[in-house]
Chains A and B, each alone.
Chain A
Amino acid sequence: MNWTDAMPLAGLTGGLLIGLAGAIMLLGLGRIAGVSGMVARATGIAPGGTPWPIASAFVLGLPLGALLLTFVAGPVATRFPTSIAAIVLGGLIVGFGTRMGSGCTSGHGVCGLSRLSPRSIAATASFMAAGFATVAAMRALGVTS
C-alpha cells in the first residue's frame, strides 16, 4: 500500500462534492448524474433522455468546475498515459462499453450503488473486476501505457 502518495482526506472531501452534485441532480431535477449518459445526450449520440439543455449544462460544468478548483487550490496532477495508442484504445472501449452497459463510474458506481440497485451493483463489480484484471494483465505482460 502506498500511503505516501494517497490522499484520503482530499479523496473524501472531493467525493462529498461529487455526491452533493449527484444529490442536487436527483432531488432538484429528478435525474441520475451519470456522466456517460449525459455526454451521449449532450452530443446527440443518445436520441432521448435528459432534456438537451440540462445534459449540456451538466457536461459543460465538469471542466468549468475542475478549472475553477485549480484557480482556487492550485494546479492538480493530470498524468495521462504516454502512449497515444493507449489513450485512443482506452477511449474507444470506454465509450462503447459505457453505452452498452448503460452507465459508468458515476451512474452505476455512485448513484446506483447508493440506491442499492442490483443492476448497478452487478455493473460496478464487473467494471471494477475488469479494471483490476486489465492492469494486472498489462503488468504481467510487461505492457505499459
Chain B
Amino acid sequence: MMRRVLIALLAGMLFGAGLAHSGMSDPARVRAFLDLFGGAWDPTLAFVMGGAILPMAVAWRIRRRLDSPLVDTFFVLPAKTGITRSLIGGSVLFGIGWGIAGLCPGPAIADLAIAPVPAAIFVAAMLGGMILHRLLPARPVKRPPLENSHV
C-alpha cells in the first residue's frame, strides 16, 4: 500500500504543479476563457485541455494491452455508457458554479496552498454542496407502466 500511496501523492503533485504552471489556478483566467462576449477571450484553457488529453489518450491505448495496472490488482473504471438525467443535470449545475466563481475542484484544492483564505472558503462551500447531495434522498426509480398487468 505504501508504494501505491506514494505514487498517488506524486500524481497529485504533478497535477497540482500542472494547474499552477498553466494558469489554471487563477480563477480570473478561467473565467476569461468562459467569457466569450467580453472582447478579451483567453484561449489558455483550451491549450491546457489539449495538452492534458494527449498523454491520457496514449495511456488509454497502453491500457488496452494491460491485464492489470502496473502496481495494483484491478482496473476500476467507470462505465462509458448511460447518459442519464443526473449526468446532464449535475454537469449543467457544475458549469453554472464554474462560471460564477471560475473554479473547478482541482484548482480550488491546489489553491489551498497558494491563496489559502479564498480557496478555503470555496472548498468549504464545495464540501457543503457535496454533503447536501449525499443527504438528499435518491429519487425513486421511475418504472415503465406494466403493459400486460391483467395477465
The interface of chain A, by Cβ under 8 A from chain B, is 1-3, 5-33, 35-36, 39-40, 43, 45-46, 49-51, 53-55, 57-70, 73, 75-81, 84, 86-106, 108-111, 113-115, 117-120, 122-124, 126-136, 138-139, 145
- Assess whether B7 is in contact with A29, with CB atoms less than 8 Å apart: yes
- Assess whether B98 is in contact with A127, with CB atoms less than 8 Å apart: yes
Report if A135-B35 is in contact (Cβ < 8 Å); known contacts: A12-B48, A67-B113, A98-B90: yes
> Residues of A contacting B46 with CB < 8 Å?
11
- Assess whether A17 is in contact with B130, with CB atoms less than 8 Å apart: no
Which A residue sits closest to B30, measured CB to CB? A131
Closest Cβ of chain A to B138, distance in Å, is: 11
How many A-B Cβ pairs are below 8 Å?
520
Closest Cβ of chain B to A27, distance in Å, is: 6
8 Å CB contact of A91 from B21, B82, B123: B123
**A106 to B134 alpha-carbon distance, docked (Å):** 21
Number of chain B residues whose Cβ lies closer than 8 Å to a Cβ of chain A: 119
Q: Specify the main secondary structure of chain A where it touches its partner.
A: helix
Determine whether B57 belongs to the interface, using a CB cutoff of 8 Å to chain A. Answer: yes
Q: Specify the main secondary structure of chain B where it touches its partner.
A: helix
> Residues of B contacting A49 with CB < 8 Å?
76
- Assess whether A127 is in contact with B92, with CB atoms less than 8 Å apart: yes
8 Å CB contact of A61 from B16, B59, B130: B16
- Assess whether A87 is in contact with B118, with CB atoms less than 8 Å apart: yes
